[in-house]
Amino acid sequence: GALVYQYPRRTICKSGTSMRMECQAVGFQATSVAWYRQSPQKTFELIALSTVNSAIKYEQNFTQEKFPISHPNLSFSSMTVLNAYLEDRGLYLCGARVGINQDTQYFGPGTRLLVL
């Protein structure tokens, strides 16, 4: 089946520092990856959509300067949260899509970011 791993599962960083999180697809080729942030209230915010060999599309309120994403191959993507502050806390989820014409996203367990 389609499995998505995320690392680390949980991280704590000091305000103003940066942290990198990874997303690994196992058993399938993740042609596209979506990064979301889930708030403590459980709502989802889409950060960006990344397709291999295409430009990464960021949503309003999220920028490459703040959330740089790398998607070098069909099984791996990473995102960094630069200069993290309290409002950046949450569960960061990676949703991987199988194939260009598939609409289903398979999610990893998330990276929970706490900012002190």
Partner 1 sequence: GDSVTQTEGPVTLSEGTSLTVNCSYETKQYPTLFWYVQYPGEGPQLLFKVPKANEKGSNRGFEATYNKEATSFHLQKASVQESDSAVYYCALSDGSSGSWQLIFGSGTQLTVMP
Please report whether residue 71 would count as binding partner 1 according to CB under 8 A. Answer: no
Q: Which among 2, 25, 15, 1 is positioned nearest to 113, based on CA atoms?
A: 15
User: Is 14 or 42 the residue whose CB approaches partner 1 more closely?
Assistant: 42
Region near partner 1 per CB under 8 A, out of 12-20, 66-74, 82-90, 102-110: 102-110
Q: Which residues contact 28 (CB under 8 A, 6 or more apart)?
A: 2, 96, 98, 106
Please report whether residue 4 would count as binding partner 1 according to CB under 8 A. Answer: yes
Rule CB under 8 A: choose which of 33, 84, 95, 115 binds partner 1.
Answer: 95
SS3 of 75-111: the string is: CEEEEEECCCCHHHCEEEEEEEEECCCCCCEEECCCE
Q: How far is the CB of 88 from partner 1 (least distance, A)?
A: 19
Q: How far is the CB of 74 from partner 1 (least distance, A)?
A: 16
Please report whether residue 43 would count as binding partner 1 according to CB under 8 A. Answer: yes
Contact code string over 10-39 relative to partner 1, x by CB under 8 A:
----------------------x-x-----
Q: How far is the CB of 33 from partner 1 (least distance, A)?
A: 11
88: left (phi > 0), else alpha (psi -120 to 50), else beta? alpha
> How is the chain split among helix, strand and coil, in percent rounded to 5?
5, 55, 40
